[in-house]
Chains A and B, each alone.
Chain A
Amino acid sequence: MQRVGHRLERVFNPRTVAVIGSKAANNHMWLRNVLTFQGKVYSVQIDEGESPGIAALGVENYSSLLDIPGPVDYVIVAVPRAVTPKVVKDCIAKGVGGVTLFTSGFAETGTEEGMRLQEEVRQLAQEWGLNLIGPNCMGIFNPSIGLRHNQEQYCGPGGCVGFISQSGTHAAFFSLMGARHGVKVSKSVSYGNAVVLDSPDYVEYLAQDEETRIIAMYIEGAKEGRRLFECLKAVTPRKPVVIWKGGQTEAGARAAASHTASLAQPYRLWQAMVRQAGAIPVESLEETIDVVRALLYIKHGTGRRVGLMAHTGGPSVVITDDFARADLEVPALTQESYDKLASFFNVIGGSYRNPLDMGSTLGMDANLDGLLRVLGQLLDIMGEDANVDVVTMELAVPFMARRWQREPETMARILDTMAYYRDRSPKPFMAVVRPLHMEEMAQQAEAGLVEREIAVFPSFQRAAVALRKMVDYYSFHRQD
């Protein structure tokens, strides 16, 4: 086994890529996925009927992997399953850095033929130390070198989040949806049936990858639960690991078996393992992204007392419930804060307990400078209050919509004010923008917040859960 850095260094950062089995029937999907790749792309296809299509994409075609001049770092295989053992042998003979078997139809089918082929491929790869990803997967996404597994994925500067996923769809959606919310991928891998390389291998790689600061994963099962545990336990003090487990219920576990041939592991043991390893459990793609943005954009802290700023009374009540339900506290403010608030807060149609119902005090129709000044005062009071660890502010789009339409600079100035006070206070700060009936405007506001690197969530409930999980993580790993 080569150990120049990590054994997966070469396959995650290839200089040459070969696609085996590209065909017109799927519009040369795999070649198109990697047309953005900055290194050299080759095709291997024995069917001469496919040659014109491959040539039209400007890719050199060979009839065998072994005929390609020079080394090949990463191979993507999309051939019928019966041919995979032959292709794997070629990969071994060529000494490639690693191979993704997109081909499916192995153990996940539960058929004898599928299991036999999987076992044959596994033995070959294991015997010769081949880095085999999959089968039944989409492989690697490394945006900084333009290596993609989906044509919608971005290229160029990536982020700092490594994503490890047994599902190709979740890997693609995490990258696509995450990018909209300020969460960009450093490297990601979809690894399917995991017959050779399994989750601990990828965690190990991303743990030592300098571009990756946070690791998130979607996992249906691990062959070696104990090894995964030990690996996670070693990594989580240095890098947060967010874990979304699929197949939690009995029915879900059956689905996982036919998806990636994962064996059922009692979910309660999984939960215990994740907790004991100091990782962060999540329940959905949305929550994975929520927790990652909390980790990225909220100042790290372990305080659980939240100061809430909302616009009107009704929401103030239910958001208090949302935070309390997430095991966070919504404390009374200090007398000092109340004294300050009493001097200018409009208590008619508002309240300055915690949450602050600040709508009528801001005066949404008053002049903008006045509004921003008042908002700044409120943010300062919250930021300085000794009972408050975290400040959460709602930006209620419907109350601002009229002004935004009248004076388009309103939005940018409010967002700038939020960013200014976010920087000014040492306390964690986050925003909530609910889409309500104004999705489009909410989206603009959200984009503006993402641009200013302010953590923003589409509901108080999601904000509360993400904050709690961030706080739990730092509490678990606090040195004391």
Chain B
Amino acid sequence: MQKVKQSLSHAGPMTEVEAKDLLRRVGFNVVETRLARSSKEAAAMGRELGFPVALKVVSLQVVHKSNVGGVRLNLAGAHETAQAYEEILAAVKARLPEAEVQGMAVQRMAPPGVEVVMGGFRDASFGPVLMFGLGGLWVEVLQDVAFRLVPLEARDARDMVREIRGYPLLEGYRGQPGVDIPFMEEMILLLSRFMEDNPEVREVDLNPVIAYPEQALVVDARVVMR
């Protein structure tokens, strides 16, 4: 696996675009995300990627993007995208005047699927740990997540996915198709190797990952370096 160190030297969080770029290079299936530095560029990128798109503010000072009006979803065309760019910029400037805005991340809206989260962090006593759960309310309200220590073996990834209470949602219910569970297990094992091979990564969050009957896509990601 490619080492992270070569691609980034500064400590602290990476931007979303940097984080996703890195994760794609180590083998994750990541939604293509580009950095637009102007509303015009955003609109052009939208055309290339295909509408509808999502726009998210890129700034190291903004931790919770949606709390400062930094996220707009389902933008259907070039004009709407360009307008959203300016509106996000204004909203962020109004709430966080000090924030240095690099631009906006432009990505194609991912088709709907089952949202899951995966993450890695380092515990003072246990060392590197992985987390897996269902996304959205499941993780926030019910804390329906499973943990395993890195390095994981195939059976650990298997057990981890089956341990969460929401597992039936992944299997498919009421006629809904299930998701590609073996693919997610592979992603978990890849994340385990990523944490193992890159001790300078303090924390990584793939949230959300949208899971489909075939494969799954990392839609947003965060990487924090030591």
Residues of A whose CB lies within 8 Å of any CB of B are 222-226, 229, 263, 265-266, 268-269, 271-273, 275-276
Contacts and interface: CB of A to CB of B under 8 A. Distances in A.
Interface in B140-177: 146-149, 156, 159
Interface stretch (B34-42, B87-95, B124-132): B124-132
Given A222-B125, A226-B125, A272-B146, 20 more contacts: A223-B125, A224-B125, A225-B123, A225-B126, A225-B127, A226-B149, A263-B125, A265-B123, A265-B126, A266-B123, A268-B147, A269-B123, A269-B147, A271-B147, A272-B129, A272-B147, A272-B149, A273-B126, A273-B149, A275-B159
A253 B159 CA distance: 28
B148 A226 contact: no
Nearest to B153: A276
Nearest to B146: A272
B125 A265 contact: yes
Contacts of A269: 123, 126, 129, 147
A116 B107 CA distance: 57
B149 A229 contact: yes
Interface size class of B (residues with CB under 8 A): 10 to 19
A226 B127 contact: yes
B147 A226 contact: no
A272 B156 CA distance: 10
Which secondary structure characterizes the binding site on chain A? Answer: helix
B117 to A, nearest CB: 15
Contacts, number: 36
B126 A276 contact: no
Interface in B56-84: none
A225 B146 contact: no
Contacts of B146: 272
Contacts of A266: 123
B149 A276 contact: yes
Contacts of A263: 125
Contacts of A223: 125
Interface in B179-225: none
A229 B148 contact: no
B114 to A, nearest CB: 23
Nearest to A271: B147
The 7 closest A-B pairs by CB, nearest first: A225-B125, A272-B147, A225-B126, A226-B127, A265-B125, A276-B148, A226-B126
28 contacts: A224-B125, A225-B123, A225-B125, A225-B126, A225-B127, A226-B126, A226-B149, A229-B149, A263-B125, A265-B123, A265-B125, A265-B126, A266-B123, A268-B147, A269-B126, A269-B129, A269-B147, A271-B147, A272-B129, A272-B146, A272-B147, A272-B148, A272-B149, A273-B126, A273-B149, A275-B159, A276-B156, A276-B159
B159 to A, nearest CB: 7
A351 to B, nearest CB: 33
B125, B129, B148, B149 interface centre (most CB from chain A within 10 Å): B125
Contacts of B149: 226, 229, 272-273, 276
A272 B147 CA distance: 6
Contacts of A229: 126, 149
